[in-house]
């Protein structure tokens, strides 16, 4: 794993500014007219410019046609993917000046999508910096942005908490459909590495007491009925202690809410060290006055 702290900058493209709204774009549907990169070419210095089918490019990337920095995403998979990319902007002295996260939704198989990448000052403002790709995450796309998946539920993860080697991340399930959704027990997990290949050798425990007491993840499972608009959560807990052996990193996890449900890929960024254990709490209904954090 190559961790990075992503300062989320807003990125809805407007006619006069590039980063002034929400940081999500949908493939094939530019956020504003002219919001593409023309005369693209890879930058001269290749270090940090490419990562998992994402590359930094240069050209006339702003709506005004101003020279700027852009990026290109290519989906080489067999299904639509949503990409989340973290960039670091570096000045001429090699100092990291800013960090920004951009999301490109529902890139079709074989499709290449190009987008501008600018700082808050607008078109051309990233020109003074060298953009480096810090992290790339790609998960199967559920469908159009904002639409409820065919399953009727949306599964996400939050950013979690960390203290003295202990990590806790929440998995959130929201009933965005029109009928009740029933749960009973624990979510099933399949851990995946950066290439989305299965990670083996990790014991997944029911409950979190074996990881740490006081997390609150050891209640007995109980049947839940989520009405439309209601949600539930489960906690993942682990320690990232490293001793002998190779540390295990699993940035992705396939979550199966209940037997027979379709698995959903999320990005809990599990830096498991050499502990080989991950605790999982049962599904618990989210209190009515609590929001559902988004990953």
| The model's pTM | 0.74
Q: Is residue 292 part of a domain?
A: no
- The residue from 140, 174, 198 where one domain ends is 140
Q: Shortest CA distance to 252 belongs to which of 193, 173, 204?
A: 193
More confident residue, 289 or 145: 145
Same structural domain for residues 39 and 79? yes
Highest mean pLDDT among 17-26, 110-119, 261-270: 261-270
Within-domain flag for 186:
yes
Structurally, the chain folds into a number of domains equal to 2
pLDDT of residue 8: 28
Among residues 140, 166, 190, the one where a domain terminates is: 140
pLDDT tens column, 139-172: 998 766 678 999 999 999 998 887 768 999 999 9
Domain enclosing residue 177, as ranges: 153-285
Same domain, 99 and 124: yes
Query: What's the pLDDT band for 295 if we cut at 50, 70, 90?
Result: very low
Q: Judging by beta carbons within 10 Å of its beta carbon (0-12, 13-18, 19+), is residue 251 exposed, middle or buried?
A: buried
Cα 59 from Cα 39, distance rounded (Å): 5
Is residue 190 domain-shared with residue 276, that is, in the same domain? Answer: yes
10 within some domain: no
Taking only the tens place, the pLDDT of each residue in 50-93 is: 777 888 876 555 555 555 678 899 999 999 999 999 988 877 77
Is residue 294 in a domain? Answer: no
Q: Are residues 28 and 110 in the same domain?
A: yes
Give 100-145 pLDDT, tens digit per residue.
888 999 999 999 998 887 655 544 445 556 788 889 999 998 766 6
| CB-count burial class (<10 Å; 0-12, 13-18, 19+) for 188 | middle
């Amino acid at each position: 794993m190559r961790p990075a702290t992503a300062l989320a900058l807003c990125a809805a493209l407007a006619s006069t500014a590039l980063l002034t709204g929400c940081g999500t774009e949908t493939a094939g549907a530019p956020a504003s007219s002219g919001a593409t990169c023309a005369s693209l070419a890879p930058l001269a210095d290749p270090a940090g410019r490419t990562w998992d089918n994402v590359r930094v490019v240069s050209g006339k990337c702003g709506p005004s046609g101003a020279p700027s920095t852009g990026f290109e995403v290519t989906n080489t998979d067999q299904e639509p993917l949503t990409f989340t990319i973290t960039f670091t902007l570096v000045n001429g002295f090699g100092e990291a000046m800013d960090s920004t996260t951009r999301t490109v939704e529902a890139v079709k198989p074989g499709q290449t999508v190009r987008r501008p990448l600018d700082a808050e000052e607008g078109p051309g403002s990233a020109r003074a910096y060298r953009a480096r790709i810090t992290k790339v995450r790609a998960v199967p796309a559920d469908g159009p942005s904002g639409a409820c998946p065919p399953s009727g539920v949306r599964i996400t993860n939050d950013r979690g908490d960390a203290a003295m080697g202990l990590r806790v991340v929440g998995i959130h399930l929201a009933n965005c459909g029109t009928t009740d959704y029933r749960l009973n027990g624990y979510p099933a997990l399949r851990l995946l590495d950066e290439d989305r290949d299965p990670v083996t050798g990790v014991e997944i425990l029911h409950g979190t007491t074996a990881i740490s007491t006081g997390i609150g993840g050891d209640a007995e499972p109980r049947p839940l009925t989520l009405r439309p608009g209601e949600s539930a959560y489960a906690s993942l807990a682990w320690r990232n202690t490293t001793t002998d052996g190779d540390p295990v990193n699993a940035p992705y996890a396939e979550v199966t809410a209940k037997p027979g449900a379709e698995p959903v890929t999320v990005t809990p960024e599990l830096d498991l060290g050499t502990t080989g254990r991950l605790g999982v709490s049962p599904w618990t209904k989210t209190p009515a006055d609590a929001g559902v954090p988004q990953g």
